[in-house]
Structure 1
């Protein structure tokens, strides 16, 4: 065993908290950025293979579902063995899946590549694993801010990669575009390297946390009413975001909006969400979290209703994407913050992972159902109005959440 580092010894620059926060943000940029481009492949891949739109939608729906199911598993591994190795392994699987999307020619193989492999890769290299790492190295009074920074970084990834993806498809075709994106995904391995210095488990409770096993913590969490309400509301977030991410470019194309303009419109969601997520993190650190979380869902419903009722033009598209961008991932710092308030940081990745399963169940329905209903009715209108109704539902279920440590999770 190597000798312990003296308390007064200065850390190498790559082991400082600042560097690890930057590293985590870079991981989030690539992870979120690559997947935000998939909407630009809906039409070219469907047309190239002669598939109905539902086939591509179903593969991306599987991806979202697998991402959700695999997230608690990734969280358990990160809580037990540390975040860095999980992030690196996920990046490799992610890259392989994206690469295989460019060469598969049958729906079954496309579902395995773009659905199963990419879904697992995203889960293991996602910003939820990054935030679990940051939650352990950042002081409690700055934790919500750190969650906001990590979430904003994911949004910055959408701003960078959405127009990049659209341009790659236009310039080189969808197959070459996917090959380039697969290579860029491997940057996560490099960016996660500084987190190896923090590659320890969270198995030891902090001073204010009870000493519980992981199995006991999971069971108690699912018996806590506020946790169930939080899980229910996050389903809506997944439905709304996945539907817009995958089907918005095609929806805009049907209304005469060019692919390039749609790319920049989707990029603005990411740009404005940098602001929204950062502000959300600050708000979560200064007061109650469940009330602003509830109103985010309500405002989303209002904005969506306005967009559907007005004519689809470049102006209304920009107003919608910028407004929705401010609310896009602003739910995440508040949701993660509520998990830490209720249960502490020891099993944060695991318990947030189960919340995220609900999010991805919503994503699955938002992507697949939109494709199915479009093929049946030739319109996305019914899905837009479902999104409005679900936003009101999420507003109502988040209001009764109680912000306090759950029974049995506080230290005696």
Structure 2
């Protein structure tokens, strides 16, 4: 580690507002007595520091482990001086870690949202790096202010709700009027002990087990969630959900049909194609589809054939589907311009369960009025900031 002699870099503002955060999972490794390596394992970027004077590796490790976002960069450098370190050299280290993506920036609002109790902060410290890396400072506060409603306490819906809450979403409500059966149990979701209980209550307990601080109540009357997740097998065909587009509620399909996990489309009313667009596209490819789809979503009493399969599937398919849906839901809540399942679905099949993307573009004949890609019109990627209710 050496003293900087060139012009000062501009990407690291040493101010009271900048609060460096080094994920506590970052490896700090010794290479001989005089070299320290930060990260750089499993193909991830890292920084190798050295040669260091005797005793400095331990001092530097203590300083780096203390980068929890609670102190500004200016205070960190002042502490480095008190510990006998060269502040210019430490500044070089911080800049190098920032350039390779190891060092993140957290806002005071993020820390306030993450520090209700020591237990909450301990859990948040493991989730903060992913949120900050994806959306930058302030993203954790926005997640904590978000509301997601999961429609259906299924083997996909309940694990997804639990993961959303654990990932920082402040209010997660699972809506279901049914009763838990033995076939509903799944890792991370409903358990065998829940059999016979109301699904909504059992789902709330599943979320509470991993995120006790989460708000499990439905959205206040007259307000809309930031995202509604539809986990029924054929939610896209359910006429009950036809009003979602008019109500301007963003919604995401996340379910299992047979042994195929399906995530998407993610519908942002007025900006993406709707669920009916997908049906019209499917009908254009297969004129017999409307007759088939009518049998999939009609009430059980009206069916002459065998009942439609519930959203079950194997544990692997359900879990992989829930994880894939988690990434898409968080991308939307974090304000990404175009998550992967925008105007598309991600399908997961055994044995590899790797998502395959199938495009479901906006249909020119649909009444939703969204123009297909390539047709001039308003930007379909103009997302509202997360934390802002649609409608």
TM-score, length basis structure 2: 0.25
Q: Which protein has greater RCO, CA pairs closer than 8 Å, 6+ apart?
A: 1
TM-score, length basis structure 1: 0.24
Give 1 or 2 for the bigger CA radius of gyration.
Answer: 2
Q: Which has the higher strand share?
A: 2
